Amino acid sequence: MQICLHGFVAGKVQGVGFRRHVQDQADRLALNGWVRNLPDGRVEVLVEGETAAVRELEAWLAQGLQAAQVDELALASQPLQGISGFVVRR
């Protein structure tokens, strides 16, 4: 079964390669969607794919990479978007 999650990651998540690492994880898990920085310092993400893979990325987002500090992760279910591939939006 496929699911879609959309939400925000807050903390020290800009200027540390966070978006690129999200894209790497999404590609590894064969997920679709996008990630982008927001002017308020948060990162916005939309991800869809197989439930287990999406949940694995969700767990990764909660922890982030070593250079980052995730203070808050807020994701909510969304209807599937039918996106193909995973991109970093600017």
Residues involved in catalysis: 19, 37
Q: Identify the burial level of 1 via C-beta atoms within 10 angstroms of its C-beta, where 0-12 means exposed, 13-18 middle and 19 or more buried.
A: exposed
CA–CA distance, 66 with 6 (Å, rounded to integer): 23
CA–CA distance, 54 with 36 (Å, rounded to integer): 17
